[in-house]
Amino acid sequence: MELQANITSLAYLVAAVLFILALRGLSSPETSRTGNFMGMLGMAIAVGTTILSPEITSYGWILGAVFVGGAAGLIIASRIAMTAMPQLVAAFHSLVGLAAVLVAGAAYLNPGSFGLADAAGQIYIASRVEMALGAMIGAITFSGSVIAFAKLQGLVSGKPVTFAGQHMLNALLGLGAVALVVYFCLDQSPEVFWGLVALAFVLGFLIIIPIGGADMPVVVSMLNSYSGWAAAGIGFTLHNNALIVTGALVGSSGAILSYIMCKGMNRSFFNVILGGFGGDSTAASASGGEDDRPVKQGSAEDAAFIMKNAGSVIIVPGYGMAVAQAQHALREMCDELKKAGVKVSYAIHPVAGRMPGHMNVLLAEANVPYDEVFELEDINSEFQQADVAFVIGANDVTNPAAKTDPTSPIFGMPILDVEKAKTVLFVKRGMAAGYAGVQNELFFKDNTMMLFGDAKKMVETVTRSF
């Protein structure tokens, strides 16, 4: 028995090391595939070790759940488009949160089976704390992730939904949830436990509903952190070291990523936690309405002539590229430019797309060389020397209103300084505002030429025009 326990601990340790190496690998596009493999291997070891535990006496439900979950994951992963990846991640976060709530509920209803109660059936105080925190964070993660999924999927408006006294209500509900956690430590009655779960579900809904579309990448990262802490809390309840370590890694890395992204957007991390993050919906709607100002419109042939006679071109990809699946056509266009002696670089904003790293993944999928891809702080100073900035579907992250209009919902957010290039070629289907609901002032600049049409078809036509 002792030997079995030692083997289990060693296997969990190996899995934990692999998870850490996975995070290390995922920090760079060059090592991301290796990082993914290490994460998968670590999870396989952790799950396999748990299933082979001598404490498990029946495998029917477990194998059935593994089969159903594995089949569902395989089908979803094979069919999902890259444009739908952000909402898929949000949906998976909701499942992690719901799992935490269900495990906490099972442990509460039958604490003896989990070794959490004394002979009289009273749950240990430490176990009550772990159970309550795991259930509360899990419920917030579930309902918040469902709202994030609905916003990303377009089932509800991506604009902020705000009302008077919202911050005060969120603060009161948060304090109420903490009070119920404390009260549950004193009284383990069902009313207190399930009341805490219900309040946490409502709190998750209210935290995410006021967040605007432009800030959705931060929300996805934040919910990722929440799901990790929920898993860690339940790991303590189940006395499962692998779950504790995995949850802590996910929770801390998600929190750090959220902080980095907030810093990159010049936002306050605490505004994300409290909700109401994303600006005033009225202002966004007004600034994103119809605009009858004239714009300079060009053709694919015009764009081809300008770029082939340029010395340097900076490509700025955004969600529009993802929607059109234009990354492969874009790489082919850039290959032709490089053959003509044009210097080509790619500029990535921290929140381009709708989840962290969205554009990096798409460009890596198209085999774009990693040394040509630069983050905002590394390339922003290059725009004023660039002959052409080729913007393909990136709207809010190139909007000069973020620097010039204090009433704009995105004011203060660092942007890519594309307007400083000699010529800006902007590929877009029409004049509609970006996901934040804000009209892009870049459209009306004298050095901007609009290329209206599907991004993939436009890029392919430009390439043929060379």
Report CA dihedral (332, 333, 338, 341) to the nearest 10 degrees. 150
Q: Please state whether beta strands 388-392 and 312-317 pair in parallel, antiparallel, or not at all (unpaired).
A: parallel
Q: Is 316 helix (H, G, I), strand (E, B) or coil?
A: strand
Local structure of residue 354 (DSSP, 8 states)? S
Give the number of other CB atoms < 10 A from CB of residue 336.
18
**Lookup: tokens for 87:** 């909402």
* Cα separation values, 240 from 90, 100, 166, 174, Å: 25, 13, 38, 28
Sheet holding 423-428, edge to edge: 373-375, 343-348, 312-317, 388-392, 423-428, 448-452
Query: Can you spell out the DSSP letters for 276-333?
Result: -TT--HHHHHHHTS-------B--HHHHHHHHHT-SEEEEEE-HHHHHHT-HHHHHHH
Which amino acid makes up residue 180?
Answer: L
Contact of 236 with 104, CB cutoff 8 Å:
no
**Lookup: tokens for 157:** 């408006």
Catalytic residue among 396, 405, 417, 454: 396
Q: Catalytic: 396?
A: yes
CA distance 466 to 462: 7
* Cα separation values, 121 from 38, 102, 108, Å: 42, 20, 11
Q: Return the H-helix or E-strand segment holding 111.
A: none
Name the residue among 378, 459, 381, 372 with its Cα closest to residue 418: 381
**Lookup: tokens for 363:** 């460009």
The catalytic residues are 396
